[in-house]
Amino acid sequence: MSHTEGGAESDKRMLRREFITVRNRLTTDDLREAATSLAERALGLPELARARTVAAYVSVGSEPGTLALLDTLLARGVRVLLPALLPDNDLDWGAYAGEGSLARVQHGGKMALFEPAGERLGPDAVTDADVVLLPGLAVDARGMRLGRGGGSYDRVLARLERAGAHPSLVVLLYDGEVVGHLPEEPHDRPVHAAVTPSGVRRFTA
């Protein structure tokens, strides 16, 4: 690994801590209001209006809330796929059928995640998605996303690329998390748009 790549990695670690610290200061009211606004903004996206299948995720802790968004997509008749974390940090997928279809799963020392309780569709199921909603901690002016560092979504993006699938990639964030520039590594792929409670930011790759 070159010095610059190692540098990018340690810069990312530091930035992750900073963004998570800010998120952890949010109150329950902040989280609730942000989730409502975020769902409204996201549902206004033409990409989501046209989508038949959306790969999404269930927010945990202080992440921008996604449940209201998932439920509205489901009510619209959209097929919503949710990830299930595999032991090697890759993601399997299952269909969302409402809040009752989620199971709380504890992964080792990591935080508990809410995953689809039903049938597993395999890691390649994501290649059917018209839109992929990605978690993240920040995005920069080029659309480069700062993830949590587990690498799960790097694998998803690589899988989409290998399959020749070109869904719209949308990251869900808070307002202060769209920044000028983030460190990047060779495997990083830009997203097409970021949705925050106050609006939508598009990036031209």
Listed residue (153, 163, 83) closest to 127, CA to CA = 163
State pLDDT tens for residues 18-37.
Answer: 999 999 999 999 999 999 99
Listed residue (94, 95, 41, 93) closest to 66, CA to CA = 41
State pLDDT tens for residues 92-139.
Answer: 999 999 989 999 999 887 778 999 999 999 999 999 999 999 999 999
Token duo for residue 142: 């080029």
- Topology of 3-202 in CATH? Rossmann fold (3.40.50)
For residue 35, count other CB atoms closer than 10 A to its CB: 20
Under 8 Å between Cβ of 135 and 59: yes
Rounded Cα gap, residues 22 and 19, in angstroms: 5
User: Which residues face 57 on adjacent strands?
Assistant: none
Listed residue (90, 186, 191, 91) closest to 137, CA to CA = 191
5 pLDDT band, cuts 50/70/90, is low
